[in-house]
Structure 1
Amino acid sequence: GAQACDCLIWAGDMNFRVDMPNQEVLALCEENNYAEILRKDEFRMLQQKAGK
């Protein structure tokens, strides 16, 4: 597994986004409501779907 490696290289399309309009993201940032933004983070959603 990856734990036995000295070096791990990630490659591929890492162009994930937050699935909500920019203005909504900015408003949530002003409110320090980062948890709501993270709920719409495509990378985190993919990790959860994969059981990670």
Structure 2
Amino acid sequence: LLERTLEACGNDLDSTIKSLNELCLRECNAASAGMKPDVKAGVFPQESVE
């Protein structure tokens, strides 16, 4: 995951760290909402807005 993210960010360490932090936050939010993210596919369900 780290290597793929680093490559996707053009080997920019700051961008990679930011992307991984955002990924972690989305995963935590999904977990707290009772959703199960598909981490392998990088797909995180969107929270429904009512």
Same-fold call, TM cutoff 0.5: no
Query: For the pair shown, which has the larger CA radius of gyration, 1 or 2?
Result: 1
